Amino acid sequence: MGRSVMTPTHMSTPALLVDEERFTRNVERLNRHLERLGVALRPHLKTVKNIELARRMIAGHPGGAAVSTLAEADYFFAAGIDDLLYAVGIAPGKLTEAAKRLAEGMELILVLDHPEAARAVAAAAAENGTDFQVLLEIDADGHRAGFRSDDPELIEAAMILHDGGATPAGVMVHAGGSYGCRDRDCLVRMAGQERDAAVTAVEALRAAGFEAPVVSVGSTPTAMFAEDLTGVTEVRAGVYAFMDLVMAGLGVCDIDDIALSVLTEVIGHRGKHGQVIVDAGWMALSRDRGTADQALDHGYGLVCDESGRALLPDVIVQATNQEHGILARRDGEPLNLDEFPIGRRFRILPNHACATGGQFEHFWMVDSQGWPVERLARCRGW
């Protein structure tokens, strides 16, 4: 369904909404920041999962993107994006499929962080006659995966790849520890730590004789707060286009910057408790509780009116069942149920845009008043 005259009644609840004005503003904000720093953006498309919006994120950049599944890679390649970083450590069982995609013309870049994974890639390269381009993942903060910058296994893995006919093309870092920051200074430090880890690692590879031209860093918090990206060739970020309550809690954005929401409808009351039941449960919102350890916990989401303005006093999704969400005041006082009649619609801002977005097969692009502008399909699966 393209752009046409539609009303909110066209949107059956629960529905995933994207505020077009906020989305555009968020994209432009990071573009301006990285332009000042002189570094290219490789947008991560795991949150957007839609080609029309992805093109808006890629516009003005070299054209490459990052994905988190081969299904995403296939979808975006079919739509004309061929430079794709598969930004998850490669499972050996997927290497034959990866080789097929390279043979079809996809410029698929792989990631790994262990010599055994390098051996699997080298063996697959020899078996398929394929020159896999590989980024070696570096651990900047002990948060998840990656070689330490000074780990001898980093050079070992690069040598295994090279000797097996694959190419150690450089390094990538994701400073997931930035999600634990609570102030601007911490975010700035994490961005610097991410850059330093990447540059130190790639310098070690180059000293060992590898060209390693790619230095890829990124998370939305570090991308937004980086002050010096000397030595970095590209930044990856994805949530930045939508933002969410976790990003707001980190100080990366304001509540009014959050472009993604779930439209829901009141289906019942818990009169004795002063609570309201809506038709968006954990199947629509996800079970992500990313704000639980932040200064302000939003439960399973922050409730807004149908145009996207947060209610006062604060109303949150206090609990969820599969298809039921329980709305309550943050302060524990009972809701005025007259303000939540059966059939009234609200919007819920998500804790984690990726997790909530992953529940839906399409977006509704809406204007600043919540009126639908366009229905956009999303890819799903692995």
The pLDDT score that the predictor gives to residue 8 is 85
Find out if CATH 2.40.37.20 is the number for domain 259-377: yes
**Signed CA dihedral, 195, 197, 199, 202: sign only:** negative
The pLDDT score that the predictor gives to residue 1 is 44
Compute the average pLDDT of residues 203-226: 98
Alpha carbons 349 and 283: distance in angstroms, whole number? 15
What percentage of the chain carries pLDDT values higher than 70?
99
The pLDDT score that the predictor gives to residue 5 is 60
Q: Comparing 39-242 with 259-377, is the CATH topology the same?
A: no
The pLDDT score that the predictor gives to residue 144 is 80
Compute the average pLDDT of residues 109-114: 98
The pTM of this model reads 0.95
The position carrying tokens 């948060």 is 143
Compute the average pLDDT of residues 63-85: 97
The pLDDT score that the predictor gives to residue 7 is 82
Compute the average pLDDT of residues 306-333: 96
66, 251, 265, 358 from 355: Cα distances, Å: 17, 20, 21, 5
Number of Cβ within 10 Å of residue 348's Cβ equals 30
Q: Where are the domains of the chain?
A: 39-242, 259-377
**Signed CA dihedral, 307, 310, 311, 315: sign only:** positive
Query: Could you report the per-residue pLDDT of 262-273, keeping only the tens digit for each?
Result: 999 999 999 999
36, 90, 163, 230, 311 from 69: Cα distances, Å: 31, 10, 28, 30, 37
Helices 115-128 and 152-163: crossing angle in degrees, nearest 10, is: 10
In this structure, the strands spanning 372-377 and 362-366 are antiparallel
Asked if residues 228 and 240 have their Cβ atoms less than 8 Å apart, the reply is no
Which of 43-52, 140-149, 313-322, 347-356 shows the lowest per-residue confidence on average (mean pLDDT)? 140-149
What percentage of the chain carries pLDDT values higher than 90?
93
Residue 299: both structure tokens together: 């439960």
Query: Could you report the per-residue pLDDT of 131-170, keeping only the tens digit for each?
Result: 999 999 999 988 788 999 999 999 999 999 999 999 999 9
Query: Could you report the per-residue pLDDT of 171-204, keeping only the tens digit for each?
Result: 999 998 899 898 999 999 999 999 999 999 999 9
Compute the average pLDDT of residues 232-247: 98
User: What is the topology classification, in CATH, of domain 39-242?
Assistant: TIM Barrel (3.20.20)
**Residue 126: pLDDT band by 50, 70, 90 thresholds?**
very high
**Signed CA dihedral, 293, 217, 108, 16: sign only:** positive
More confident residue, 342 or 9: 342
